[in-house]
Chain A
């Protein structure tokens, strides 16, 4: 059972305080988008073995959403950060690079 730190209230809590919300950094495609764009937005999700970026909500806590960078194999958590961003912080990316040289995830590396 994971331990995550909520970047919004600072609580370091166990997984039962949180609710997972799927992949992070999705770009929404609404009316006017092509069928392909919309299909990709809704259904084509990353499911990597290794470095992954996810949405979590501190459901039994401050109620805020945040993002987490973690490894789906080792379960290491590289960091949690604000949901109000379009990409992970440089600090987190550097931390991942130190542990998993040459990693990439969608457009990030």
Chain B
């Protein structure tokens, strides 16, 4: 069993015990534990079930590469699935549950799959769920959905806080092991601004666990000295619990800082995503030990040799009493030595190399440990826990030679540099045959904005495995990065480091090398996704020869660990099956993030009320307080209607608003309309090119409705232009058009007609604008000013500056409703005050604020088009009967040439008409009008569609506008619109102007 040792544990504080629960069981650990080390200290080796076969799985690793120990953490609003126990720091009250089993972790019904594994080979899902097709939706999909995923999805809203931080550095060093520390120190000494980050809670990395000396002192002492030197450098920032998540173009780097995961509920952000720009990035991300592929290598109790050592040295946890070490390199001998020195039994070291190991092997033998060379594990004995191993010759097919009882197997298949961050942005790899690893190719680094290499690698991430080499490599990398980032060129002596001399590794991809199919089918490559040696070999036989194809076919490396342990072993097996060298097979693509980061950290502050900007007019609060039923219009919120009392339904409210406006007085908050000032000697000429109609002939003091098209000829915006003086125009745009039309103007002014003397300014938000509408509009306004606002003083389509008390306003006689109407612009800061005055003055007329729906209905009654309803980016003004607003005198305007194209002048285009339902009902929005015959898909031919449709309270019937083939020539004809329920509505083609066609009401 695994337990806490009496001595050891450099990272834990035994004076500070912490309580936590696992599957409801109360357990104890110490401050400084990870959840994994605390579970192991409590003999909780079994932590989960594998994805496909539900096999019992234990902790394999001690860091970010852990594939098995994923747990559900927390509850309710702090619940989060798939948290890695090896990177979760223990805290008091931590609550974890294992995943992917039913009914319990100990007894899981799904484990039957492992008995069926012969019938669940690679590509099983593709082969099984393809035929027959009718079963896809109702049989296969529900089945696959039920079996997909490991953890549970959270049900409650996440209550924690997250944020971003933009940060800028000359050199960023990722990884706080000895290489990272030395690279950061070297860069810091060159005077550049440095950020050093480490994903765990501790500096120093692996070197503190392994044997070695630096400058004749123990590694821990040297690390302490280096840390204090770094702390004294004001140009170096150091952050723990921060992972380099991804490297992107032009030196962009995401740093994922787990600010308060280890002390939740401390009123701090949980995660902070650092959005870093670095001139140079040094990845000192270390290396990850590889498992060995032998039958039963997934039983709980089979662990990476380095992890067994880490748990003993860092946390004072022994994984078991009897440890068998199996290896193809010298490094794993350190585990045997550590365990032996801790007073535990190491009955055997199985070294697959026939030549055996070097100095460390001698040391092990001297401690009395039996070492067998040229041997392999034929098979692991046990079930939910290892009980022993059967030994065989590595050269053979797996005939057992002897059995050795043990409860831990510490395996090492060599080390793979962590090249992920190097590779994210295009860094290439080379295969190092001597060390049996892919390492960064220094000649093919990721390049930045100036074409410069901006990522370099230091230490074991660069393939340097000996402490002396690591230290030298790190200092060089730090100095070079600082120099490339503009630092002083400085050469300091690198520290003198020594570690035991290692004998060469021998690549062992399968154990024993001739393992029969029974053994290969029990030799796991990917623990989380249950991919075995036999699966990859099957994929190769079935033609999935590209590593990317084999990956997707077998799901090798597609789990949440992204194949940190399995990828190299898998592609070595694939290479062997294809009889080609490993570099020819290559690796799959490394993509960010290095380990999963929280979705909420990506969202950052953009949650809840600040999910996105909400634009408010100066009268917004009044609307809110007076029953506004909101409609989003871009980022604005506009009242759709106002509910007079909470019980009023919105249809009733809209009718009431329309009737009251047409009969007496309505108010519309029109502040969101775009307002652009265009000024200069060439302003008229410019607007003549922007609008389809002539603007340069407009007289100061007058207004004109205008249309804007893009170069494709399609109608994009409309609005009223007022000429302020000879040089100055004010252009109203649609609500959505304010920013885009301003940008459109600047585009043409800056990029095409840059020698013209025109300035444009967006003054949309300077003004609150109110439409005062209805037969009593003038009477109301006359109560608020002594100035002349009569029909003579301000005729229809004119404007005038008028003071209403202390409020200086500009009054436009324009109408979008067909009624007597004044649109009044006042400074935004006085918008609410002006609105309040209007309400008071209009009280005697039953003043009624109205919303966007009443606005829409009233404009439709008048046959006025709405950008976005009657237009959809394919409609030209001619389609809408707006030929009167297209100048024939102008040589050019934007869209003119396009409107001469063949398709645009085709007489068969659909054109705007009014539609009056025969039974008075309301046509469905977007309904199509059918024609005779069918198209080649067997669908009915169409000859038109509805663009706007409303119930008109004024006419007490449904009215609509639509685009109909040859519509204007077919007045009086009845056409048919099928509804989705299969019934048909008949509608008569009529003029789109339903109300006051002579315009007598607006022009009084």
Verify whether A and B have any Cβ pair under 8 Å.
yes
Is B897 at the interface (CB under 8 A from chain A)? yes
In the complex where A42-B712, A77-B450 touch, is A1 in contact with B250 (Cβ < 8 A)? Answer: yes
User: Shortest Cβ distance from B464 into chain A, in angstroms?
Assistant: 29
Is A48 at the interface (CB under 8 A from chain B)? no
A31 touches B891 (CB 8 A): yes
Q: Which residues from A are CB-within-8-Å of B902?
A: 35
Choice from B249, B712, B746, B896 contacting A75 with Cβ under 8 Å: B249
- The B-contacting residues of A in range 56-87, CB under 8 angstroms, are 57, 59, 63-65, 74-77, 83-84
Closest to B451 in A: A76
User: Shortest Cβ distance from B524 into chain A, in angstroms?
Assistant: 39
In the complex where A74-B447, A84-B750 touch, is A1 in contact with B252 (Cβ < 8 A)? Answer: yes
Q: Which residues from A are CB-within-8-Å of B896?
A: 30-31
B746 touches A63 (CB 8 A): yes
Choice from A28, A35, A59, A75 contacting B250 with Cβ under 8 Å: A75
Q: How many residues of A contact B (CB 8 A)?
A: 27
Is A33 at the interface (CB under 8 A from chain B)? yes
Choice from B746, B750, B897 contacting A29 with Cβ under 8 Å: B897
In the complex where A57-B743, A76-B451 touch, is A1 in contact with B248 (Cβ < 8 A)? Answer: yes
A65 touches B447 (CB 8 A): no
Q: Mask for B676-715, Cβ within 8 A of A = 1, else 0?
A: 0000000000000000000000000000000000011000
Is B900 at the interface (CB under 8 A from chain A)? yes
Q: Which residues from B are CB-within-8-Å of A59?
A: 743
In the complex where A2-B250, A21-B747, A57-B743 touch, is A38 in contact with B897 (Cβ < 8 A)? Answer: yes
B892 touches A65 (CB 8 A): no
A14 touches B277 (CB 8 A): yes
In the complex where A21-B747, A29-B897, A31-B896 touch, is A3 in contact with B251 (Cβ < 8 A)? Answer: yes
A30 touches B754 (CB 8 A): no
B750 touches A38 (CB 8 A): no
Q: Which residues from A are CB-within-8-Å of B448?
A: 76
Q: Which residues from A are CB-within-8-Å of B711?
A: 28, 42
Is B932 at the interface (CB under 8 A from chain A)? no
Main DSSP-derived SS at the A contact region: loop
User: Shortest Cβ distance from A12 into chain B, in angstroms?
Assistant: 9
Q: Which residues from A are CB-within-8-Å of B249?
A: 1-2, 75
Q: How many residues of B contact A (CB 8 A)?
A: 28
- From B251, B447, B450, B751, name the one whose CB has the most chain A CB atoms within 10 angstroms: B751
Q: Tell me the bound Cα distance from A31 to B747 in angstroms.
A: 20
Q: Tell me the bound Cα distance from A83 to B748 in angstroms.
A: 11
In the complex where A76-B447, A83-B751 touch, is A38 in contact with B901 (Cβ < 8 A)? Answer: yes
Is A55 at the interface (CB under 8 A from chain B)? yes
A31 touches B897 (CB 8 A): yes
Q: Tell me the bound Cα distance from A12 to B752 in angstroms.
A: 25
Is B577 at the interface (CB under 8 A from chain A)? no
Closest to A24 in B: B751
Q: Tell me the bound Cα distance from A102 to B802 in angstroms.
A: 66
In the complex where A1-B252, A3-B251, A57-B743 touch, is A83 in contact with B901 (Cβ < 8 A)? Answer: no
User: Shortest Cβ distance from A42 into chain B, in angstroms?
Assistant: 6
User: Shortest Cβ distance from B754 into chain A, in angstroms?
Assistant: 4
User: Shortest Cβ distance from A69 into chain B, in angstroms?
Assistant: 12
Closest to A4 in B: B449
Q: Mask for B750-774, Cβ within 8 A of A = 1, else 0?
A: 1110100000000000000000000
A35 touches B901 (CB 8 A): yes
Is B395 at the interface (CB under 8 A from chain A)? no
Q: Tell me the bound Cα distance from A31 to B746 in angstroms.
A: 22
Q: Which residues from A are CB-within-8-Å of B746?
A: 57, 63-65
Q: Tell me the bound Cα distance from A28 to B277 in angstroms.
A: 38
Closest to B711 in A: A42
Is A99 at the interface (CB under 8 A from chain B)? yes
Q: Mask for A17-44, Cβ within 8 A of B = 1, else 0?
A: 0000100000011111101001000100
- From B449, B743, B746, name the one whose CB has the most chain A CB atoms within 10 angstroms: B449
Is B942 at the interface (CB under 8 A from chain A)? no
User: Shortest Cβ distance from A24 into chain B, in angstroms?
Assistant: 9
Is B484 at the interface (CB under 8 A from chain A)? no
Is B886 at the interface (CB under 8 A from chain A)? no
Is B898 at the interface (CB under 8 A from chain A)? yes
In the complex where A31-B892, A65-B750 touch, is A2 in contact with B451 (Cβ < 8 A)? Answer: no
A42 touches B251 (CB 8 A): no
A55 touches B751 (CB 8 A): yes
B451 touches A99 (CB 8 A): yes
B897 touches A30 (CB 8 A): yes
Q: Mask for B432-455, Cβ within 8 A of A = 1, else 0?
A: 000000000000000111110000
Q: Which residues from B are CB-within-8-Å of A77?
A: 449-450
Q: Tell me the bound Cα distance from A4 to B900 in angstroms.
A: 39
Q: Tell me the bound Cα distance from A42 to B714 in angstroms.
A: 13
Q: Tell me the bound Cα distance from A31 to B689 in angstroms.
A: 12
Q: Which residues from B are CB-within-8-Å of A29?
A: 897
Q: Tell me the bound Cα distance from A28 to B725 in angstroms.
A: 31
Closest to B755 in A: A84
B754 touches A84 (CB 8 A): yes
User: Shortest Cβ distance from A84 into chain B, in angstroms?
Assistant: 4
- The A-contacting residues of B in range 446-489, CB under 8 angstroms, are 447-451
User: Shortest Cβ distance from B930 into chain A, in angstroms?
Assistant: 33
Q: Tell me the bound Cα distance from A1 to B247 in angstroms.
A: 10
Q: Mask for B894-936, Cβ within 8 A of A = 1, else 0?
A: 0011101110000000000000000000000000000000000
Q: Tell me the bound Cα distance from A14 to B276 in angstroms.
A: 11
Q: Tell me the bound Cα distance from A79 to B665 in angstroms.
A: 59
A75 touches B449 (CB 8 A): yes
Q: Which residues from B are CB-within-8-Å of A84?
A: 750-751, 754
Q: Tell me the bound Cα distance from A31 to B713 in angstroms.
A: 12
Q: Tell me the bound Cα distance from A84 to B248 in angstroms.
A: 32
Choice from A2, A14, A28 contacting B752 with Cβ under 8 Å: A28
Q: Which residues from B are CB-within-8-Å of A33?
A: 897
Q: Which residues from B are CB-within-8-Å of A75?
A: 249-250, 447, 449
A65 touches B751 (CB 8 A): yes
Q: Tell me the bound Cα distance from A55 to B248 in angstroms.
A: 23
B250 touches A3 (CB 8 A): yes
B901 touches A14 (CB 8 A): no
Q: Which residues from A are CB-within-8-Å of B750?
A: 64-65, 83-84
Q: Which residues from A are CB-within-8-Å of B277?
A: 3, 14
Q: Tell me the bound Cα distance from A16 to B723 in angstroms.
A: 36
User: Shortest Cβ distance from B362 into chain A, in angstroms?
Assistant: 51
In the complex where A65-B746, A65-B750, A65-B751 touch, is A38 in contact with B451 (Cβ < 8 A)? Answer: no
5 contacts between A and B (CB under 8 A): A32-B897, A42-B711, A57-B743, A64-B750, A75-B250
A-B pairs with the 5 shortest C-beta distances? Answer: A76-B451, A84-B754, A3-B250, A65-B750, A83-B751
**Additional pairs, 9, CB under 8 Å, beyond known A29-B897, A33-B897, A76-B447:** A1-B248, A1-B249, A2-B249, A31-B896, A35-B901, A57-B747, A74-B451, A77-B450, A83-B751
